[in-house]
Amino acid sequence: HYQILLAERPEGTPTRDTFHFDRVSTASPSSGEVLLKTLYLSVDPYMRGRMNEGKSYVPPFELHEPISGGGIGEVVESQSSSLKEGDIVIGNLNWEEYPVVSADAVRKIDPSLAPVSTHLGILGMPGLTAYFGINDICRPKEGETVVVSGAAGAVGSAAGQIAKIYGARVVGIAGTDEKVRYLKEELHFDEVIQYNTVEDMGAALQEACPDGVDAYFDNVGGPISEALYPLLNKYARIAQCGAISTYNSTGEDVGPRVQQYLVKASALMQGFIVGDFSSRFQEGSEKLAEWLQQGSITYRENVVEGFQQTPDAFIGLFKGENLGKQIVKI
Ligand code: NDP
């Protein structure tokens, strides 16, 4: 079977040359380990940061070593008393078709509750990111205006829907017609701006937010955010979740030219990683599951099939190819 190694550290946007498919023989689990058949792999924007050298909140991938990330597998052979053949587990898995992992490093999930892939999306890390970013940082009140960038992605689509549950007026920013239609018609966002077709982003935001912006859930950073800062209302809150527009930049970053607007609006900007809230994951997961069950939130997955598609699925995140959570079905 195959595993995927980091072949080189990308300059700018990753390409197929960033990845190397390495043929390996299937290992047998030792005591305390299990052999998995990988069912789903998650590709996530934060993994781009791990391809660079240098420390961040997660250590970099090693050159010529397997890339790893969120994944779901089925136990095919167990040398652990806690897991048996047929169990479905989630964890940080190497990009490999049949990995051997320590049973302690994965968590069993119940496939009868929801499709297992949702644990990589709405019921997993992206859903929790949206929940804590809105609930704890944006803290929208009834009738306030909340803007979400990267609105049709895994995190953004959940963030906007949660803000709506709290009674906010939600304005999304996304990159294709199909995404705009999805956000308006299926998720009932109040306004959606297609950022790459408007001439003047500031004017478009002003039109979509006549009462200004009370909270901003920012996934993209860069020029989109620069255009938004002047619209911040008094005591606005900014949840800085990500800045995908800058992850592949090789030149000078744009901004942040936010200081004067933060002062003017007495606004609060907070960066966060979902792990900051790990002690409350139970609360977040229960809320998300409840909303999903009630139909107060829905989700989409962009599923590509085949292990060999994993690199392209990852690269596609930076081209806006995904509507909803990008997943690879192995
Ligand atoms: P998405 O599902 O949103 O996929 C990425 C999307 O980003 C693309 O579909 C594309 O949509 C948009 N995008 C890509 N390049 C640009 C660009 N140059 N300018 C504007 N938009 C762009 O990914 P996730 O939901 O998984 O992640 C969203 C953000 O949240 C990322 O910044 C990620 O790093 C961050 N994140 C942070 C976490 C945390 O703990 N803080 C945890 C998880 C994610 P479009 O067509 O609209 O351009």
Averaged pLDDT score across all residues of the chain: 96
Pocket test for ligand 1, best of 13, 41, 193, 219 (most atoms within 8 A of CB): 219
Nearest CA to ligand 1 atom 1: 153
Nearest CA to ligand 1 atom 43: 126
Task: Return the percent helix, strand and coil in the chain, to nearest 5.
Answer: 35, 30, 40
Place of tokens 């938004």: 228
Q: What confidence tens digit (pLDDT) does each residue in 1-29 have?
A: 999 999 999 999 999 999 999 999 999 99
Q: Which domains does the chain have, with CATH numbers?
A: 2-118+300-329 (3.90.180.10), 125-275 (3.40.50.720)
The pLDDT, as a whole number, for residue 20 is 98
Place of tokens 């299926």: 186
What global pTM score does this model have?
0.97
> Given the CA of residue 48, which atom of ligand 1 is nearest to it?
34
Residues 41 and 73 sit within 8 Å (Cβ to Cβ) = no
Average pLDDT over residues 248-268: 87
Query: Does the structure's ipTM exceed the value 0.90?
Result: yes
Q: Cα of 85 to ligand 1 centre, how many Å?
A: 36
> How is residue 300 written in tokens?
């989409």
Give residue 115's pLDDT band: very low, low, confident or very high (50, 70, 90): very high
pLDDT at 290 over 80: yes
User: What is the CB < 6 Å shell around ligand 1?
Assistant: 44-46, 126, 129, 150, 152-156, 174-176, 179, 219-220, 224, 241-245, 272-274, 317-318, 320, 322, 326
Q: Cα of 113 to ligand 1 centre, how many Å?
A: 27
Tell me the one-letter amino acid at 76: V
> What does each C-alpha distance from 182 to 40, 155, 177, 204 come to in angstroms?
25, 15, 9, 19
Q: Cα of 45 to ligand 1 centre, how many Å?
A: 6
Give residue 267's pLDDT band: very low, low, confident or very high (50, 70, 90): very high
Q: Cα of 172 to ligand 1 centre, how many Å?
A: 13
For residue 250, with 0-12 CB atoms within 10 Å meaning exposed, 13-18 middle and 19 or more buried, which class applies? exposed
Q: Which residues pair with 88 in a beta bridge?
A: 74
The alpha helices in 196-309, defined as continuous H runs, are 201-208, 222-228, 259-265, 281-294
The pLDDT, as a whole number, for residue 58 is 84
Q: Cα of 102 to ligand 1 centre, how many Å?
A: 31
Q: Cα of 84 to ligand 1 centre, how many Å?
A: 36
Q: What confidence tens digit (pLDDT) does each residue in 28-71 have?
A: 999 999 999 999 999 999 999 999 998 778 889 999 999 999 99
Nearest CA to ligand 1 atom 17: 245
Q: Cα of 158 to ligand 1 centre, how many Å?
A: 12
> Given the CA of residue 321, which atom of ligand 1 is nearest to it?
9
The pLDDT, as a whole number, for residue 65 is 97
